Chains A and B, each alone.
Chain A
Amino acid sequence: MKRPRLRRRSPRLPAIVLLAAALGAAAWQARIQEHRGTAAAGEVSAADAAGPASGMPAVPGTGAVASTWYCAAGTGDAGGMADHSVTVFNPGDKGVGVTVTVYAGVLASSSPTTAEAVEAPPLAPPPAARGFLLPSRARLELRLGDLVPAALVAALVEADGGPVAVEHRVTGPHGVDVGPCASATAPVWHLASGATTRDARDVLVLFNPFPTDAIVDITFDTDAGSREPVRFQGFPVAAGTVVGVDVGDDVAREPQVSATLRTRAGRVVAERLQEFDGSLGPEGLAVALGVPDASTAWVFADGAVDDGRTERIVVYNPGSERAEVEVRVEPTSDEPTPAPQPFRLSIRAGTFAVVDYGAEDRVVSGVEHATIVRSTNGVPVVAERVTTHAGAPAGTDDGEGDGDGEGDAGGEGGAGGDVAVGPGAVAAATRWAFPSSVQGEDAGVRFVVFNPDPERPVSVTLLAMVGGRTGEASSASDVEVPAGGRVSLTGDAAGAAWVVESEAPVVVERAVLGEDGLRLATGPGIPGVEGAVPLGRMLGG
């Protein structure tokens, strides 16, 4: 019997089916991945918009092997407008070696006839360095003019390790101010505020400690529009020098001047010295570090308006898109007070907006508040606050201000009072350092802690560090800050550096009060990088 011939199986159908399945799966996966990619891109941009914690000076972590600080603005000769002192504070547990190198510079001529005139300023003294060992929890203050007497002096502070914080103090005939030095350099700096009115002097100080000459382009934005003065396009800052620029020479009689500095080559640190002579209003001196990165959220923990105090929020949009910004005032009082309607600002690219609380009815006079500036469309902005204090107000809780009414530290004649100008905080942190202290028996320091978390209260402790010892402020141990609220703490140890610790990220501001109760300096402290969180992420900017 003939056996039937077996038919060989063809691989065609299985192969085609498998291949089709594989290709189909590939197409499906690619589509899914594309979708995820779009979503991830959105997440990334949101995170970027939140802004990094490094947008403001920060104290390195305990594991840091070195840290470098740049204190740019100040004068070093007798009779200067802002005599420059640096305060180095070591809040860590180990002593660190610190080297302070002082660089000299001059104010750039306002009317150079040639480019060479700009590039060849008068010879400045060479840099001078001093090294010392800074014990744990100790602070050291150094007047830079003692090392290098020059029209402008800047300091480069290098620490061999440990969490070191550095501030600088400027003292002049019209006031005194304290502010943090920069812990990093940047290719771009923004300065939201500034005034060149008849009573004001606005000096930008550019510090270049690097071995490379820096070339800077500066753009000013005023009510009259944007200006790019020729002499500030390709403006040279030689390696190892500091240069001052009097803004009023080129942008005259402007009540509000915002500035952006961009380096074509090299790096600089940019700071602003703002001086008011009191001829048209309060006199004062303010030093403010530029902001390297715009952010979608800013917090000013302290603030109040009353008969003696004014407060303005300047929001500057240095980007290329219109920013939709919400300025919210969070009042704090013994009685429940409803939050006023937020101010909504629509700011074109390259312009600014000013919210003057004194002129707004919705901000209750005499009630202290925090201010939250938030970009609602994700376009980062720069926010600064300008406060003036004509004298000790009545009815506020800063009772330490009952001074003798002699005015500010250096004030001579004029209207008295003081002016403070500076950016807010872009990060919340669990540890804030305040190296500078106050001088005089009746001077004081006051800290305002704002808890940005709208749901959970947080406990904070104020620590005073004097002569290497640490002690808790008597009335400021484990103070609870309500969710979304603020508290005020008083520092009562003379000559101390201060540290505020909290169990969750908070924003802390300090007000340095003069013997007459004037607010000589207000502004956020220096956060520690460990435990710092961008406010944009917390507040949903």
Chain B
Amino acid sequence: MESEEQPLASPPVLAVVVTHGLHANRFEVLLGALAEQDYPELSVLVVDAAGEDGTADRVRAVLPSARVLHVPGTDGFATAANHVLDPDRPQARRAEFFVFCHDHVFPDPGAVSALVGAATEWDADVVGPKFVAQDDPRRLLHVGLGVDRVGTTMPLVERRELDQGQHDGVRDVFTFPAGFTLVRADRFAAMAGFDEAIASPNDELGLCWRAHAAGARVLLATDARVRRDGQSWAGPRDEARYRIRALLSCSSRLDLLRVAPQALALSLVQAVGGLVTGRPGRARVALGAWAWNLLHPLSLWRARRQVGRVRQASARDVRRLQVRGFIGPRLWLRRMRRNGSSADPTVDRPEGSGGPGPPLAAEPTAPSDAVAPWTPTTALITAVLAGVVLFGSRHLVTRFVPAVGELVDFPGSAGDLVRAWAGGYRPVGLGADASAPTVAGVAGGLGAVLGGHLALARTLLVVGLVPAGVVGTYRLLRPTGSKAAQVAGAVAYAAVPLPYDALAAGRWSVVAAYAASPWLLGRLAQASLVAPFSADGPVPPVARPLWQHVVATGAVIGLAAVLVPQAPALVLLVVLALVAGTLLAFQRRGIGRLVTVSVGAALVATVLHLPALIDVIRSRTAADAWMGLDRPGGALTALDLLRLDTGSLGIAPLGFCLAGAAALPLLVGRDWRLGWAVRAWAVAVTCWAVLWAQQQGHIHVRLPEPGVVLAPAAAALAFAVALGVAAIELDVRGRSWRFGFRRMASALAVLALGAATAPVVVGAMDGWWDMPPGQFADVMGAVDAAVADEPSRVLWVGDPAVLPGGQAWELDDGLAYTAVEASAPGVADLWPATGLGASGRLGEALRLAAGGQTSKLGRVLAPMGVQYVAVPRALAPASAVERTDGGAAGTGPAALAPAGSVGALIEALDGQLDLEQVAVDDALALYRNVAFAPIRATGIDPSALEETSVAAMQHVDLSAASPALVESAGDGHSSRGPVEAGATVVQSSSASDRWVLEVEGRRADRADAYGWAAAFAVPEGVGNGDAVLDYRTPPYRYALVALQGALWLSVLALAVRMRFGSEAPSPSASRPEGAAGRPDDADGERAQQEPVADDEPSREGEPVPAGAGAPT
């Protein structure tokens, strides 16, 4: 009889159970299962890694024959298990096979016999069992794992597939899950056991890979059946680390050169995907795995050396056992098909409950992303959406972002920009003691982070804003629990023409407002605690104290204010609308919180821009400038506003489709869908009304760009569209099968949403979003050289819509002007009107010329150091403008300006006797001032310095002036050069006692020049040495900047802690009663709602949304 023969032929087997003092109940059940094994030569060794006193007693109580080895303080499973290799373990020395058991598996009585039988019959060195579900042994969990070349594993069966024997048999596999692994003892010793760098009991991939490399055979014996739960014993973070370690330690050198870059690229893709989809945890896991491995080079080298000692198989032999291609993408698609979840399949969660952590994991399991489940349709739409946005931006990403309008260049170095921000002096115009915009510091900081690649920083800060807005909308809808609603909201927001029109017109502030609005709306909605943003919503948010909402919302507004200075005021407008909408919805809940949070957040955001705040408080001009231009109205009609159409992109009749789709929740929505739809429409209508009243001249207030005011309206409309989709799922689908009004309205809304996307798809074709693929800097190289040779300014004047540098000083007839010490404004010169100084004189001079009061504007501008006057007729050079959809003769923002105030200005400048016309481009009227004096000059007649009248300067000839202190720092705060003793150095910048001229260490006396500038008398007796002219930034300015930096760091640190840190309360704390919980996701926020059983009554009798319910 076989049962009688087996003991005689049975090789001794040692079952090794490592326990860490956890899961006591399961531990004893496992020992019981081992006791029931039918294999006669089985002995059991319990390795007590915790060193607990009662372990031996508990073992003896269940399995008296088992030996207990106390190894207290042992760190990790591998180290504990490797004690079987100690030479002083006779039981281990005698064993031919080891079976490494985890303390929460339940082997069938014949499991060991089957494993040993397979090993002996097929001469295998490593054998694994078939794993079935603990709660239902008829359900398969694993019959081995497929592995690709980069170590990604893939189950070979569908999860919880019914076991009908279809996978039975003995087969070669690359690896299998850990839990009950048989290893030939001598082979295990040759491989030096488990990799001790791996703390969790999950080294089967590495063990099997090493075995393959050593020429050993790895089998799966399905006759050995082991029950276990579906949980992985290592979190995504550890799994990624161990996967990379196995790859790096087991691959041959040549293979490593080939495969490691591919693996790294995949990790990068995963990281980018995580960032784009708002799951930075994934990015952290993907890149952290590489960092962890590369930070342990010695351990890695030892592991490779160990594998090298036993390596017998060629790399080709190992590869032959691996799955071809990459498993990752296939796995993702498979998950889509299976249950719509993108959760990592390697993290097999226990069904029905939040299971315990891994037995020996040193840290808590990293959470998985648990959001509303994806479906193939939503995934496809999202992919198409991303593709369209990327396709439409392709030239901006791969070539350059033209420096037009507000989208100015980032000149100099990252350090220059940071110094310009911190310096407290703005060279723009005629200079002023004022703060450079925070965006200069942000640009410099980001450039520094990117290794000095300012162009890349600029591309990110411009092109990245569009997807940021779309992702913001997607995230805004997260509490609805409907992936379809999230995706619909994102699609609707991407279909808004605002950002593309803004790019085409060079309106950075509008793109930024577009990016910020959904985040802002989301923060306010969460602060309101009104369903679904409350604990009784489909995806309850984390409960937070009110002050955290204030700070988080303030951080969002503060970030927006980097590019939209009016953001704090704008948020008050939005809240006003939300309050009105709440009242209109016959509700009161949330109003107090909304008002409190918005006011507080506006204050926080204002404080975050502290230096600018000081300027605004000190100067009415700066305050006016921060609020926006005093624009003439009438450009936009009510229908334009309804279409959110501020530019050339769009197909007029389709412009109404978005609003049409957004009306759906008002028609068919119920409960919170209807309530929030009313609020969203209130926001949209309020924004439209304010802008309309201003455009029609009914109110006379300074407003930012129309697109900035329209951005919250656009976000609100997209929100309403998404609510409509949620309403289809909750309020239409489950109510009746009759094709009545609700279904018809839903169908029309879906069609309208589709139609609304058509203009954007068309607009994406050119790859520039209709931006002119050129910039004035391309045709002004000679100007740059001239301005550098002789320090001087370029005075830009014209229509604010096409003027580089954004909102400038206002001239008459809707014109504006700015002046810079380069050919075109840079990021530190943005929004010059926030600092005035003596720059108003430039306007006076221009008014003289425009009014026919002088034919010698050159002389008038000479003391201001203006060498060139530039009047743009379009946003970019004509050659670039002609290539846009609008074209030079079109109506788009890039079109050449028609005759009007700009034409009259050009007429006036053409008639100036000392302005030489410079033919550079049809779209730019450029004049060289033949009478100019450099910004820093010597040789000026002292009597000329006493002339203070702008008009009178036309009778003064400064053409004899010579440049001085030509060498200038990039931040505009310092210059140097040789000067003659006794000379007078005139600096044509707004007078400030912060400017100091030192020659050979001696300070020059300072006097006024022209009534607004400064003249420095070089002391007698100094040689012709170097003179240094410096702007001495006052200490309080540095203190302000430091305080601003500290505030930003504090707020961002708090935001990070709220998002990722331990402050995030556990899900169960805020989970509604009766809802099953999942662990925190990778981002530290609440996971999605657990699948709700079909028979589980939904709230208020509502059907469960498809996207939030069980997989179908």
Contact = CB atoms under 8 A, between A and B. Distances in A.
A460 B675 CA distance: 76
Interface in A1-48: 8-12, 14-16, 18-19, 22-23, 25-27, 29-30, 33-34
A66 B954 contact: yes
Contacts of A156: 913
Given A11-B585, A14-B584, A27-B639, A211 B681 contact: no
Nearest to A292: B907
Output the residue of A11, A29, A158 with the most chain B CB within 10 A. A11
A26 B663 contact: no
A10 B848 contact: no
Interface stretch (B28-36, B781-789, B852-860, B883-891): B852-860
A505 B504 CA distance: 49
A12 B670 CA distance: 9
Interface in B642-683: 642, 663, 666-667, 674-675, 677-678, 681
Contacts of B585: 11, 15
A187 interface: yes
Contacts of B848: 65
**Chain B contact patch, size range:** 35 or more
Contacts of B955: 97, 160
Contacts of B951: 65-66
B586 A19 contact: no
Interface string A387-414: 0000000000000000000000000000
Interface string B943-957: 000000001101100
B638 A27 contact: yes
B913 A66 contact: no
Contacts of A10: 586, 674
A22 B855 contact: no
A265 B917 contact: yes
B921 interface: no
B919 interface: yes
Contacts of B689: 22
Contacts of B675: 11
B911 interface: yes
Interface in B873-897: none
**Chain A contact patch, size range:** 35 or more
A274 interface: no
A266 B674 contact: no
Contact of B678 (A15, A26, A29): A15
A9 B586 contact: yes
A211 B952 CA distance: 21
B915 A66 contact: no
B668 to A, nearest CB: 9
B948 to A, nearest CB: 14
Contacts of B910: 185, 187, 266-267
Given A66-B853, A209-B913, A11 B639 contact: no
Contacts of B952: 65
A66 B674 contact: no
Interface string A169-198: 000000000000000111100000000000
B637 interface: yes
Output the residue of B585, B638, B641, B915 with the most chain A CB within 10 A. B638
Given A30-B638, A267-B911, A12 B674 contact: yes
Contacts of B642: 23, 26
Contact of A210 (B638, B692, B853, B913): B913
Given A184-B911, A265-B917, A30 B852 contact: no
A29 B698 CA distance: 13
A212 interface: yes
B917 to A, nearest CB: 4
A68 to B, nearest CB: 4
Contact of A211 (B853, B855, B911, B915): B915
Contacts of A12: 666-667, 674
B947 to A, nearest CB: 13
B854 A211 contact: no
A26 B638 contact: yes
A60 interface: yes
A64 interface: yes
A64 B853 contact: yes
A36 B66 CA distance: 99
B666 A265 contact: no
Contact of B855 (A9, A19, A158, A187): A158
Given A26-B692, A211-B916, A11 B674 contact: yes
Contact of B852 (A18, A26, A60, A211): A60
Contacts of A15: 584-585, 666, 677-678, 681
Interface string B685-701: 10011001000100000
Given A60-B852, A184-B911, A30 B584 contact: no
Contact of B584 (A11, A27, A68, A160): A11
Nearest to A29: B638
B916 A8 contact: no
Given A9-B586, A65-B951, A185-B911, A30 B639 contact: yes
Interface string B906-933: 0100111111110100000000001000
A64 B847 CA distance: 12
Contacts of A29: 637-638, 692, 696
Contacts of B681: 15, 19
Given A26-B642, A29-B638, A267-B911, A16 B852 contact: no
Interface in B824-865: 848, 852-856
Contacts of A66: 853-856, 951, 954
A54 B585 CA distance: 62
A54 B907 CA distance: 12
Contacts of B692: 26, 29
A488 to B, nearest CB: 33
A15 B586 CA distance: 11
B853 A65 contact: yes
Contacts of B852: 54, 60, 64, 184
Nearest to B930: A211
A16 B666 contact: yes
B308 to A, nearest CB: 73
Contact of B586 (A8, A158, A160, A186): A8
B584 A18 contact: yes
Contacts of A16: 666-667
Nearest to B855: A68
A490 B3 CA distance: 149
A96 to B, nearest CB: 11
Output the residue of B639, B641, B848 with the most chain A CB within 10 A. B639
Nearest to A15: B678
A156 B912 CA distance: 12
A54 B782 CA distance: 36
A210 B913 CA distance: 5
Contacts of A22: 685, 689
A186 B638 CA distance: 40
A64 B955 CA distance: 14
Interface of B: 584-586, 634, 637-642, 663, 666-667, 674-675, 677-678, 681, 685, 688-689, 692, 696, 848, 852-856, 907, 910-917, 919, 930, 951-952, 954-955
Given A29-B638, A156-B913, 11 more contacts: A11-B678, A15-B678, A26-B692, A29-B637, A33-B696, A158-B855, A184-B911, A185-B910, A210-B913, A239-B916, A265-B919
24 contacts: A10-B586, A11-B675, A12-B667, A15-B666, A22-B689, A26-B638, A26-B639, A26-B642, A27-B639, A30-B639, A30-B640, A65-B954, A66-B853, A66-B855, A66-B856, A97-B955, A158-B856, A184-B852, A184-B911, A185-B910, A210-B916, A211-B913, A211-B930, A265-B919
Interface of A: 8-12, 14-16, 18-19, 22-23, 25-27, 29-30, 33-34, 54, 60, 64-66, 68, 97, 156, 158, 160, 184-187, 209-212, 239, 265-267
Per CB-CB distance, the 9 closest pairs between chain A and chain B, nearest first, are A26-B638, A68-B855, A211-B916, A212-B917, A11-B585, A65-B951, A30-B639, A30-B637, A30-B638
